Amino acid sequence: MSTLAPSQTATPAGPGPERPVYKVTAARVLRSEWAKLWSLRSTWITLGLALLFLVAFGLIAAVQFKSRLDSGRHLDRDFSDATALSLSLFGTNFAQLALGVLGVLIAAGEYSTGMIRSTLAAVPRRLPVLWSKAAVYGVIALLLGTVGVFVAFLTDSGILSGTRVAMDLSSAGAVRGLLGAGLYLALVGVIGVALGALLRSVAGGISVLVATLMLVPGLVSLLPTSWQSHISPYLPSHAGEAMFALHHDSTTLSPAAGLAVFLLWTVLALAGAAVRLVRSDV
């Protein structure tokens, strides 16, 4: 007589552990942009170059000035009205290009690689991505620029001690000028981020940045003198220079006015990037 083995019915597996639900918050978007920024090799290289430009060119300018002064040689226009502050900030024009270019790469680089699709899928509201990129990089550029100009100034103060242009941190306008230079470099970096997000092209963003900071002032200088006095002080580069210049005259803006004008240019660039980010497809 045969027996039938009892059939075993498969019991349904119990529910697995629920996946945690992550909410998109400003802090998490900031941390994401921070991680992406430092994962790029270009970040380390470009920030290092910017710091090198600030310190090295400031040192070279001070050594050249001291050498010509000691030898009794004629001082050209670049050195005739120099101060320890202006000599220490000689590398600002070079550092601004490095920081501005990196800002463009941070924003436009995601479009060239296609990574922006993943970023916007994780942050559907879009604008927090732009604000976070600008905030993270702006703070980093501010810290690096401020440290760089202070190191350059303190080094130059030792070199130029005893000369007619000698200054230290207690000199009138010195700290204000150094902090203004650090803030100017930070805002240039933010403008670079905005141009990268607005144009979505690394080459295009860098071209517009260089033209705005270097080529446009040269073109304006070709205009009639009466026009220059009404246009030149309000250009981004000249308004920025007013933020950290030690002396001002009727043809330049005051430090506060220069800051206000340069902040306005920064806001306009960010506003243009925000409008395109919201209205355009990736």
Task: Kindly report, residue by residue over 98-141, the tens digit of the pLDDT.
Answer: 999 999 999 999 988 888 888 888 888 889 999 999 999 999 99
Question: Is residue 263 classed exposed, middle or buried when 0-12, 13-18 and 19+ CB atoms within 10 A define those classes?
Answer: middle
Q: What is residue 65's predicted lDDT score, i.e. its pLDDT?
A: 86
Comparison of pLDDT for 68 and 62, the residue scoring more: 62
Q: What is residue 143's predicted lDDT score, i.e. its pLDDT?
A: 97
Q: Using CA atoms, how far apart are residues 190 and 132, in angstroms rounded to an integer? A: 11
Whether residue 269 has pLDDT greater than 50: yes
Task: Please provide the average confidence, as pLDDT, over all residues in the chain.
Answer: 88
Going by C-alpha positions, the residue among 59, 46, 256, 60 that lies closest to residue 141 is 46
Q: Using CA atoms, how far apart are residues 126 and 117, in angstroms rounded to an integer? A: 11
251-280 mean pLDDT: 94
Residues 2-13 have pLDDT tens digits of 455 555 555 555
Whether residue 1 has pLDDT greater than 50: no
Do 93 and 86 touch, CB atoms closer than 8 A? Answer: no
Q: pLDDT-based confidence at 22, cuts 50/70/90?
A: low
44-70 mean pLDDT: 91
Q: Using CA atoms, how far apart are residues 188 and 141, in angstroms rounded to an integer? A: 9
Whether residue 67 has pLDDT greater than 80: yes
Q: What is residue 224's predicted lDDT score, i.e. its pLDDT?
A: 85
Q: What is residue 127's predicted lDDT score, i.e. its pLDDT?
A: 93
pTM of the entire predicted model:
0.89
Token pair in block for residue 50: 């910017």
Whether residue 270 has pLDDT greater than 80: yes
